[in-house]
Amino acid sequence: MNIITTIQEMKETVAKLKKDGNTIGFVPTMGYLHEGHRKLMAEARQENDVVVASIFVNPLQFGPNEDYDRYPRDEDHDQKAIKEEKVDILFYPHVNEMYPKEQTIQMIVQRRVNVLCGKSREGHFDGVVTVLTKLFNIVHPDRIYFGMKDAQQVAVVDALLEDYNFSITLRPVDTVREADGLAKSSRNVNLSSQERKEAPNIYQALETGKKLVEQGEMDPEVVIEEVSRFIREHTHGKIDYVDCLSYPELEKVETINRQMILAVAVQFEHARLIDNIVFSSNGQPSTAIV
């Protein structure tokens, strides 16, 4: 594995790879890697000649109440995981390399962000699209890999590629789950033993809502109420949100007659868990972007 820390070296390396006819799969991360990240790298390994992963904790996507300096980092663990997934290049720039001076131009995301987790993280996705635009122009990938655990981010990336005419294929990758259905997350270790027993009911609640659609329910509010009821009855967590929106547009609709996302966030004592499922208008599991 080749570790590159400067933009200039990364661009020169990519230029040579492209000249030799290689396809590049890219997995951008902020490090502290887990099984979800590893699945993205494994998918990229199967579909591309060269796999590039990046680790960069992007300060622009942290809000005023979010501590950039306290974001977990584990360089040795991350490099070991990346090597095991047979990644060819790790792009590992310092913040001063990515942002050597104050930005002259500010990118602002105007749609797909005022719902779900984005509703309480003003400016977060502005920072996400800014760093991704820089990374895409540095790495020049053919395919990029993002996990559907954060389906809102996938929707924003989809819009970025479309709006700015990037010739890049977006590959959404299914959420990695425990055997009992709980979406894997670094936050799961913060659950008490009782909360850990209850947490798989979040996914069961989503499945219950999807089953309603399979049975012909077309009112999103009915689905939302059923999912909320299931969570309240089977966990002690506090519901942050339950929503049923068009996907990837992330807009409220009166009738379920298109691809939808059913998404939840539940706050336990020391862990906030998010999960979602995407399905077609008849409730069948669906591809992420249509």
- Find out whether 270 is annotated in a ligand binding site: no
- Find out whether 37 is annotated in a ligand binding site: yes
- Find out whether 76 is annotated in a ligand binding site: no
Helices (H), the chain: 7-19, 35-47, 75-84, 95-98, 124-139, 151-163, 193-198, 200-214, 220-234
pLDDT in 10s for each residue of the chain, 290 residues: 999 999 999 999 999 999 999 999 999 999 989 899 999 999 999 999 999 999 999 999 988 777 788 788 899 999 999 999 999 999 999 999 999 999 999 999 999 999 998 888 888 999 999 999 999 999 999 999 999 999 999 999 999 999 999 999 999 999 999 999 999 887 888 899 999 999 999 999 999 999 999 999 999 999 999 999 999 999 999 999 999 999 999 999 999 999 999 999 999 999 999 999 999 998 898 866 76
- Find out whether 123 is annotated in a ligand binding site: no
Q: Which domains does the chain have, with CATH numbers?
A: 2-173 (3.40.50.620), 186-279 (3.30.1300.10)
- Find out whether 120 is annotated in a ligand binding site: no
Q: Give the other-Cβ count within 10 Å of 24's Cβ.
A: 22
Which of the following is catalytic: 37, 124, 234, 270?
37
Q: Give the other-Cβ count within 10 Å of 100's Cβ.
A: 9
> Is residue 37 annotated as a catalytic residue, yes or no?
yes
Give, as one character, the DSSP assignment of residue 120. G
